[in-house]
């Protein structure tokens, strides 16, 4: 199968994925050679490289700018991930609040960290924990990570369920000091009082 461009770059595993997807179309009762589907396995294989690119992201998180501050909250970091039980997307927002120890993270570093763990086969609880665990390993005092997501595997199939799943993970002094945690939570949800019960 040829692509208009970049076919020389196509690696072995991409070609294997294409063949598997073609076979999947056949098993689903489709004709993979009809016009609308002929390029679908190639397009999907290419898309998988992007949406599962988190496995290849090794970007280490490090504190960079120096700043005297109590708590820093990065709200509404958008993410898209894949439910590992059904291979359907779940997506939403992640809020990261942390207490620095003199130095702070660049906001793009946090967004990249979210991508690193979102762009793979995931469950929301683990995604939340992995982000918190990587942040607490750096030179900071505590972190709170909240993920709010909609799951297509819940919306599209079975008992249709429109609920928003919220997962929370805290580490360091955010785990030890409840008052601090509540303070940060109320800041995060200042404009969304209905979510304060997390």
Q: Which residues bind Zn ion (CB under 5 A)?
A: 83, 85-86, 153
How far apart, in Å, do the first and last CA atoms of the chain sit? 50
Question: Are the beta carbons of 195 and 166 closer than 8 angstroms?
Answer: yes
**CB of 75 vs Zn ion, minimal distance in Å:** 26
Residues in the chain: 198
- Closest separation in Å from C-beta 6 to Zn ion: 32
Closest-by-Cβ residue to Zn ion is: 153
How many C-alpha atoms does 17 have within 13 Å on its Cβ side? 17
Closest separation in Å from C-beta 85 to Zn ion? 4
Nearer to Zn ion, 163 or 191 (CB): 163
Q: Pick between residue 16 and residue 85 the one whose CB is nearest to Zn ion.
A: 85
Give whichever of 81 and 174 is closer to Zn ion, judged by the CB atom. 81
107-132 in b/e form (b: 16+ CB < 10 A) is eebbbebbbbbbbbebebebbbbbbb
Residue number, 104 or 154, with CB nearest to Zn ion: 154
Query: Would you say 88 or 173 has its CB closer to Zn ion?
Result: 88
CB of residue 144 to Zn ion, shortest distance in Å: 25
Q: Which of these, 7, 11, 37, lies nearest to 22 by C-alpha position?
A: 37
CA distance 185 to 135: 18
User: Minimum CB separation from Zn ion for residue 154, in Å?
Assistant: 7
């Amino acid at each position: 199968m040829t692509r208009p461009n970049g076919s020389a770059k196509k690696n072995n595993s991409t070609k294997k994925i294409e063949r598997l997807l073609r076979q999947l179309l056949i098993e689903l009762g489709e004709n993979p050679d009809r016009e609308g589907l002929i390029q679908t396995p190639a397009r999907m294989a290419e898309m998988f490289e992007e949406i599962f690119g988190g496995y290849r992201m090794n970007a280490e998180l490090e504190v960079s700018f120096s700043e005297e501050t109590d708590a820093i909250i990065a709200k509404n970091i958008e993410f898209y991930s894949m439910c590992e039980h059904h291979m359907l997307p779940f997506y939403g927002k992640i809020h990261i609040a942390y207490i620095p120890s003199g130095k702070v993270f660049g906001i793009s570093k946090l967004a990249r960290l979210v991508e690193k763990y979102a762009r793979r086969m995931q469950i929301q609880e683990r995604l939340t924990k992995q982000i918190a665990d990587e942040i607490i390993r750096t030179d900071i005092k505590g972190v709170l990570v909240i993920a709010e997501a909609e799951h297509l595997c819940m919306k599209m199939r079975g008992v249709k369920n429109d609920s928003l799943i919220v997962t929370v993970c805290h580490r360091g002094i955010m785990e030890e000091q409840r008052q601090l945690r509540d303070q940060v939570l109320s800041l995060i949800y200042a404009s969304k009082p209905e979510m304060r019960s997390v």
